[in-house]
């Protein structure tokens, strides 16, 4: 029978709050690192140099094709066989970052390609360096295309942190499992965890909508 007292006990539990905070900062760290790597991969993929294009294409193919759970297990249990030992947290962050970068690189690339090539050529004709053109001309316009799918990727990344429980990272789901083992109220414990995820994802959706609206308003004003 459902126990409201157990449910509310889970909901305000220090383990749940701690796990939720861990999931939030893991998402933030992996997003920043993954996006930085994704930008590099996207620029490499768009290069005329095959030595840059092919490694980027291979990286994207590899990490989009291999399930994240398999990647995490290989990093955590496989690398030590080659003398590379990573703790649970480092292994989890590395796996999530590599996986996220593979997906975000295509989002970034599509955003860059959405900017008319003539604007790049005009900026170069004015004497701007390629790096300055990207920073001043291309990325501000591409961001309007990149942000919506990027925001959805953040939602997915936050929920994907649950997989880090397999490498012993104490994120929200793993902490919920520990709490459930104390009083064996499985349903109440999982519903409480689900509410945490729903609330945090909903908050992010509000932030995402605000950012998208500001970018659209800025685009209309400048155009």
Which phi and psi angles does 70 have, rounded to 5°? -65, -40
Q: Which domain holds residue 67?
A: 4-222
Give the model's pLDDT for residue 220. Answer: 62
The answer to whether 124 touches 133, Cβ cutoff 8 Å, is yes
Which secondary-structure segment (H or E) carries 37? helix 14-45
Q: Residues with Cβ < 8 Å from 47, sequence gap 6 or more?
A: 53
Which secondary-structure segment (H or E) carries 179? helix 172-183
The answer to whether 202 touches 110, Cβ cutoff 8 Å, is no
Give the model's pLDDT for residue 215. Answer: 81
The tally of domains found in the chain comes to 1
Q: What is the pLDDT of residues 181-222, one digit of tens each?
A: 988 899 999 999 999 999 999 999 999 999 888 887 776 665
DSSP letter, residue 81? G
- The C-alpha atoms of residue 160 and residue 98 are separated, in whole angstroms, by 13
**Least confident segment among 38-42, 67-71, 132-136, 169-173:** 132-136
Say how many C-beta atoms besides its own lie within 10 A of residue 170's C-beta. Answer: 18
How much is the pTM? Answer: 0.90
Q: Is 148 helix (H, G, I), strand (E, B) or coil?
A: helix
**Nearest of 167, 180, 168, 163 to residue 13 by alpha carbon:** 180
User: CB-based burial of residue 14 (10 Å sphere; 0-12 exposed, 13-18 middle, 19+ buried)?
Assistant: exposed
Instruction: Please report which confidence band the pLDDT of residue 119 belongs to, taking 50, 70 and 90 as the band edges.
Output: confident
- CATH code: domain of residue 59: 1.10.3720.10
Q: What is the pLDDT of residues 15-55, one digit of tens each?
A: 999 999 999 999 999 999 999 999 999 999 999 899 999 99
- The C-alpha atoms of residue 11 and residue 134 are separated, in whole angstroms, by 46
Give the model's pLDDT for residue 136. Answer: 86
**pLDDT surpasses 90 at 65:** yes
**Nearest of 154, 151, 124 to residue 138 by alpha carbon:** 124
- The C-alpha atoms of residue 23 and residue 105 are separated, in whole angstroms, by 23
Query: Average of pLDDT values for 62-66?
Result: 96
Q: What is the pLDDT of residues 85-113, one digit of tens each?
A: 999 999 999 999 999 999 999 999 999 99
The answer to whether 6 touches 182, Cβ cutoff 8 Å, is no
Give the model's pLDDT for residue 210. Answer: 92
């Amino acid at each position: 029978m459902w126990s409201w007292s157990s449910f509310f006990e889970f909901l305000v539990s220090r383990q749940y709050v701690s796990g939720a905070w861990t999931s939030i900062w893991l998402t933030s760290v992996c997003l920043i690192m993954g996006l930085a790597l994704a930008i590099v991969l996207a620029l490499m993929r768009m290069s005329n140099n095959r030595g840059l294009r092919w490694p980027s294409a291979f990286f994207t193919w590899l990490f989009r094709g291999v399930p994240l759970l398999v990647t995490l297990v290989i990093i955590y249990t496989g690398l030590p066989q080659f003398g590379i030992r990573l703790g649970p947290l480092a292994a989890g962050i590395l796996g999530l970052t590599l996986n996220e970068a593979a997906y975000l690189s295509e989002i970034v690339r599509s955003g860059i390609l959405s900017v008319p090539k003539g604007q790049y050529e005009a900026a170069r004709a004015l004497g701007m360096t390629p790096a300055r053109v990207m920073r001043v001309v291309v990325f501000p316009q591409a961001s309007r295309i990149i942000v919506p799918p990027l925001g959805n990727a953040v939602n997915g990344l936050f929920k994907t942190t649950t997989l880090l429980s397999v490498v012993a990272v104490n994120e929200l789901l793993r902490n919920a499992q520990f709490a459930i083992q104390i009083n064996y109220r499985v349903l109440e414990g999982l519903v409480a965890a689900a509410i945490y995820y729903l609330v945090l994802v909903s908050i992010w959706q509000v932030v995402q909508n605000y950012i998208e609206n500001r970018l659209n308003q800025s685009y209309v004003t400048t155009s």
